[in-house]
Every structure is written in structure tokens, then in C-alpha cells.
Amino acid sequence: MKRVKAIYPGSFDPPTNGHLDLIQRGSKIFDELVVAVLGNPEKQPLFSLAERRKMLEALTADFDNVSVDTFDGLMVEYALRVGAGAVLRGIRAISDYEYELQMALMNRKLQPGLETVFMMPAEKYSYLSSRLVREIAQLGGAIDCLVPPLVAQKLREKIDVAHKFSADAARSTLEPAATAPRGKASTVKASKVRASIVKPRKRKS
């Protein structure tokens, strides 16, 4: 009998309960499922590629036929390289469909032998997205019912570090520097410092 290997590509920044739900469903219909994390250098992810990979490895450790890998470049080329015959994508709502259809048809044009299979996560996850999870976490909202406990913990750590870094930087520019001459304290505003942390300036080459 033919064995079907599939890839489940995505950004997973961070992995959510919806992603896990789909991995669970995919692992039942495919013989082998590779969760393929995109390392898009143009996007500035909250979690590094290595962090996302590590989280997904821990979250999928109990699935015998699921593995985690990273890729960059064209997804169809990656699929070909690992010998996958199918691509798994989740559709949460009609609003996902248009983009997913366009991507699936373009991928078919690029690689006609590769089939895209759409699956629906449980409806309780239909409103869930990594982008919203990041936003809620950064604004101090409750994320425990949206992501697995491990991811909630990592999000809290990441955000605590960012807040501490931002507060320390703001304090150090508002307080007179130990080495600065008396009366010449920096007058840079904390908000400006925070903005420069959030949006690092591009390095001139």
C-alpha cells in the first residue's frame, strides 16, 4: 500500500492550540507528517527559528509519525527534497480560503505532483491565530487557553525580558550616567528609547 508523507508548513510564531489540533488530525490521515517551520529572514519573528523548532519538538514528542524540521526558500522545493507528496494546511474560516486557494493553486503550478490537503481545526479554535496570541501576550492579556502551557510559559519569559530590557534602557537614559559630567544628564525620553528597541534601525552596509 502507498505510504503518504505530508508536510505541514507554517511560521508557528508561536505554535497555538489550533496548530496542535491540526497536527493531531494530520497525524491520523498521513503515514508521516513533518511540521516544517519557515525561517523567513524578511519577517522579524517574536521567537527565533530554533526556539520555534524546540517548542514544536516538545509539543509533538508523543506522536510517533510526526517530526519537526525547518526550511527556507520555496515550500514546493522543500517538499520535493524531503519526498513529501502532500501539504497540509488548516482553514479556520471562509476568510482563510481565498489566500489558501491562491497559494495551493500556485504551488500546484510550480509542482503539479504535490497535493494540498485542507483540514479544519476544531471550531473552538476558529478565531485563533499566532498574530493575535502575540498581541494579547504583549499587552498582558490571558493566553493560557489559547496556547499549550509550554508556549504560554515561553511567551511570558520573552515578554518579561523585553519589558525589563525596555525599562532598564529607559532608566539608564533618564538617570544621569555615572560617567556623565554633573548637570549634563541625558534628556532622551523613555518613549523614544522604547521605540528604538521595538524597531531597531537597519544597519547601513
Active site residues: 19, 43, 92, 130
Ranges of H-type helices in the chain: 17-29, 49-59, 75-82, 94-110, 130-138, 149-174, 190-198
For residues 10-39, which are near ligand PNS according to CB under 6 A? Answer: 10-11, 38
Residue from 107, 133, 134, 137 that binds ligand PNS (CB under 6 A)? 107
Dihedral sign of CA atoms 33, 39, 43, 44 in order: positive
Residue 103 touches ligand PNS, criterion: CB under 6 A: yes
Residue range at the interface with ligand PNS (CB under 6 A); choices 99-107, 140-148, 161-169, 178-186: 99-107
Query: Minimum Å distance from CB 99 to ligand PNS?
Result: 8
Residue 60 touches ligand PNS, criterion: CB under 6 A: no
Closest of 113, 26, 32 to residue 69, by C-alpha? 32
Judged by beta carbon, residue 11 or residue 27, the one nearer ligand PNS is 11
First-to-last alpha carbon distance for the chain, in angstroms, is 55
Judged by beta carbon, residue 58 or residue 103, the one nearer ligand PNS is 103
Residue range at the interface with ligand PNS (CB under 6 A); choices 6-14, 50-58, 142-150, 189-197: 6-14
Contact yes or no for 32/83 (Cβ under 8 A): no
DSSP 82: H
Residue from 9, 14, 18, 26 that binds ligand PNS (CB under 6 A)? 9
Residue 80 touches ligand PNS, criterion: CB under 6 A: no
DSSP letters along 137-188, please?
Answer: HHTT---TTTS-HHHHHHHHHHHHHHHHHHHHHHHHHHSPPTTSPTT-----
Residue 106 touches ligand PNS, criterion: CB under 6 A: yes
Judged by beta carbon, residue 38 or residue 86, the one nearer ligand PNS is 38
Q: Strands 32-38 and 5-10, how do they pair?
A: parallel
Positions touching ligand PNS (CB under 6 A) are: 9-11, 38, 74-75, 103, 106-107
